[in-house]
Structure 1
Amino acid sequence: MQLRALRYFNEVAQCVSLRKAATRLYVTPSAVSRQIEQLEHFYGASLIERNPRGIRLTREGEFLAQAVSATLRELDHVKEHIANSQGVVAGTIRMFVSESLIASMLAPVLAKFSQQYPKVQFQIETGSAPRIADAFRAGEADIGLTFYMPPCAEIEVTHHCDVWHRVLVPKGHAFTERHSITIRDLAGQPLAIPNSTFSTRQIIEAAARKEGVQLNVAYTTSSVEVQKSLARAGIALLVLPQAARQNRDLGDGLVAVPLLDPLIERVRVDLCLPRQRTSSIAIKTCQSMLAQIMADCSI
């Protein structure tokens, strides 16, 4: 049994699709199938079942998937520690972040980090705080950057900061002439906001209920880029966090207008690490750089 077969099976278990796994591995689906067949021969059991909708793991496959995932993580950690002992900062950092923090915090840090430590690779996933918490519980995340991380035994919030919430409106909108707006001003305005698993949606709706305001949620999408595209098209407004140092005119056809409401005008950003796992030098260095930019962005 080869390590390659285990890595191929791990991708299949994550994707629940031979074709998607093959795409992520840059190989053909038949190559993935051959590796799965080798594992099935080695263990003497069927690991996947094919059906008209695709594939699913058998009970034996589910058991192997858990063991393989843990084994590959440990092997990656060993590789990183060996590199660190030789004075080389290397390895893979698995990051789970809220998408709206990428431009203001994550991207600037990764640009600087990658110049200094080119041997470090990143796997970046986006999602809500509950999704990121699930990733930590499953051992899939090395660093998390999100809003209001819920309490979790597996997670340590190492740093946090507050940033402003702003209403992003297209240039030419009447709100661009306003110094600030309130939650009442949003009544009747078409909004593009994420679903209720995101803290932004929860806080906006809580503020609206407090003021007795009926919001017009015209578009529900977790994609920040989709929200911005709808705003640029003049058919929606959105609410996003903004670092203290960012300009009012975002330079992309949108203007960030201050939102005055004690419940929603500011939002907390949490930087998280796994509580029970020793972090590599690469992870600790990246964490330190993220903590610094959070301090710079804080209000």
Structure 2
Amino acid sequence: MIHGIALRYFVEVARTGSLAAASEELHVAVSAISRQITKLEQETGTVLFERLPRGMVLTEAGQLLAEHARRTLLDAQLVLGEISSRHASSGGLVRLACTDGFVHGVLPDVMLIYHQQYPATRFILESGNPEQVCHWVETGEADIGLGFTIASTHEIEIVLHHTLPVCALLRPGHPLASQEVLSLDDLARYPLAILERGNTVRQLLEWSFTAQGKVFTPLLSSGHTSTLHRFAAHTDTIALGSRLAIHGQPECNQLLAKRIDEPLLQQRQLQLMTMKARRLPPAVSQFLQLLQQQLHTALDA
């Protein structure tokens, strides 16, 4: 019989990649964690981890058990939360993960709306690249993820899917402000501000320039979209991103979002995601519904 403590240790080793790292996170002796992993392998009759010189990697069987274990532990937390909520005024916890563009406007705005109705609800908001966001949702480290298309995975439930092209963001007084559509040649004539490598905007722009035999060197490269937007708001620099990313930012609301005549840049897909087959806590489910509504409103504007 697989016990909860064994699953907890197993999931932490899978997450951290080593017994030592899991020991440090759990404050449990390495030997105790190792014994539980060995028991799990004996009960399942198969090897769950590949023991490598630099850590431990899940086998195919381990991957299957990890998916089950994560949901089991989250379901247990959900039940405990429901029980405790009957004896306390706690409003629950909503853990969010997103790419950087949604940290400064969209998500804080929705959190404020939700807070007005449910002031006891707590929030955790983390940002990262699309792969990180997807991973945090897959492993249960985040309840809701908001980001852009990456390789599909059977562990993710796509709640909302919407085409959100890469746009050129520039100030009203920019020399290109009167043009409705910009070309790559237009972009090449002006300094560019773009996110660092590891995000969809940078990747798609590099592919687009390469396909036309062109190269670009950004004037400004940063991990924070707010930095790019502010720079573009005060110079002739063109920031690359989405119109949704400047939503609700007073200083950047005046930026113009121009379509770019390049097919690759039109293909970017926004995704709102949760862990597949997971029963969401009430606070998470309610927040997700509100977020969907607010996103539909912003995207249709």
User: Which interval holds the TM-score relative to the shorter structure?
Assistant: 0.5 to 0.7
Q: Please say if 1:163 is aligned against 2:164.
A: yes
SS in 1 for 2:271: strand
Corresponding residue for 2:142? 141
CA distance in 2, matches of 1:244, 1:228: 9
After superposition, the C-alpha distances for 1:63-92 in whole angstroms (9 at most, x for unaligned) are xxx9xxx79967753442225667977221
SS in 1 for 2:154: coil
Gaps of 5+ in 1: 1-9, 15-34, 44-58, 60-65
Letter in 1 for 2:239: L
CA distance in 2, matches of 1:180, 1:246: 21
Contact in 2 for aligned 1:156/1:272 (Cα 8 Å): yes
Corresponding residue for 1:255? 255
Contact in 2 for aligned 1:188/1:215 (Cα 8 Å): no
Corresponding residue for 2:199? 198
SS in 1 for 2:219: strand
Q: Please say if 1:150 is aligned against 2:117.
A: no
Q: Which moved more, 1:205-214 or 1:85-94?
A: 85-94
Cα distance 1:245–1:108, how it changes in 2: closer, same or farther (>3 A)? same
Corresponding residue for 2:211? 210
Contact in 1 for aligned 2:105/2:245 (Cα 8 Å): no
Please provide the CA RMSD for this pair.
3.9
Contact in 1 for aligned 2:247/2:253 (Cα 8 Å): no
Question: Matches of residues 32-71 of structure 1 in structure 2 within 5 Å?
Answer: none
Corresponding residue for 1:295? 296
Letter in 2 for 1:272: M
Cα distance 1:266–1:176, how it changes in 2: closer, same or farther (>3 A)? farther
CA-CA distance at 1:155 after TM superposition: 1.2
Aligned residue pairs total 247
Corresponding residue for 2:280? 279
Q: Which moved more, 1:172-181 or 1:249-258?
A: 249-258
Corresponding residue for 1:237? 238
CA-CA distance at 1:146 after TM superposition: 0.6
Letter in 2 for 1:258: K
CA-CA distance at 1:251 after TM superposition: 5.0
After superposition, the C-alpha distances for 1:134-159 in whole angstroms (9 at most, x for unaligned) are 21233211100111143123211111
CA distance in 2, matches of 1:254, 1:283: 33
Corresponding residue for 1:131? 132
Contact in 2 for aligned 1:178/1:257 (Cα 8 Å): no
CA-CA distance at 1:101 after TM superposition: 2.4
CA distance in 2, matches of 1:202, 1:76: 38
Cα distance 1:209–1:174, how it changes in 2: closer, same or farther (>3 A)? same
Corresponding residue for 2:102? 101
SS in 2 for 1:177: coil
Q: Which moved more, 1:190-199 or 1:204-213?
A: 204-213
State TM-score, norm by structure 1.
0.68
After superposition, the C-alpha distances for 1:69-118 in whole angstroms (9 at most, x for unaligned) are x7996775344222566797722111101221245532232111111111
CA distance in 2, matches of 1:246, 1:72: 36
Letter in 2 for 1:221: S
Contact in 2 for aligned 1:168/1:240 (Cα 8 Å): yes
CA distance in 1, matches of 2:275, 2:107: 18
Contact in 1 for aligned 2:75/2:279 (Cα 8 Å): no
CA-CA distance at 1:243 after TM superposition: 3.9
After superposition, the C-alpha distances for 1:210-258 in whole angstroms (9 at most, x for unaligned) are 33332222332221122123324527321121149969x9754852231
SS in 2 for 1:272: strand
SS in 1 for 2:242: strand
CA distance in 1, matches of 2:279, 2:273: 13
CA-CA distance at 1:264 after TM superposition: 1.3
CA-CA distance at 1:294 after TM superposition: 2.2
Letter in 2 for 1:82: I
Corresponding residue for 1:184? 185
CA distance in 2, matches of 1:134, 1:246: 26
SS in 1 for 2:256: strand
